[in-house]
Copies of this chain bind each other. A is one copy, B any other.
Amino acid sequence: MANFAEVATQFVQFYYKQFDEDRKQLAPLYRDHSMLTFESDSHAGALAIVEKLGSLPFEKVKHSVSTLDSQPSGEHGGILILVTGALHVDEEQRPMNYSQTFQLLPDGAGSYFVYNDIFKLVFG
């Protein structure tokens, strides 16, 4: 099994690259029992989650990761991740700070899916 910190780093890189290129293609990363809380608005299941992400009111988006920390999340082989970063949308000059936490779980086929996803903008 790959080191949890390596999996976390690879996941985060892949996730935001895919999000920024075409966020409607994120569905395979979620499952029917996955959860997303986006700015305190909760959605369950890959379909509802990707519908929510697709409906966000911006076209161009770029995530810049500032920090990434991870820990094993239990005996089931999960990985907990906390990302802090900045979000650049459309023609806005000023990025928005955000924090996001993910729990990845093994999918039984050698890979991982997103079980928990909580996204929050940070105003300082």
Binding site for B on A (CB under 8 A): 35, 37, 40, 42, 66-67, 69-74, 76, 78, 80, 82, 84, 97, 99-101, 103, 105, 115-116, 118, 120, 122-124
Contacts and interface: CB of A to CB of B under 8 A. Distances in A.
B97 A80 contact: no
A46 to B, nearest CB: 15
Contacts of A73: 73, 103, 115-116
A80 B103 contact: yes
B78 A99 contact: no
A105 to B, nearest CB: 7
Listed from nearest, the 4 A-B pairs whose CB atoms lie closest are: A99-B99, A124-B124, A82-B118, A101-B101
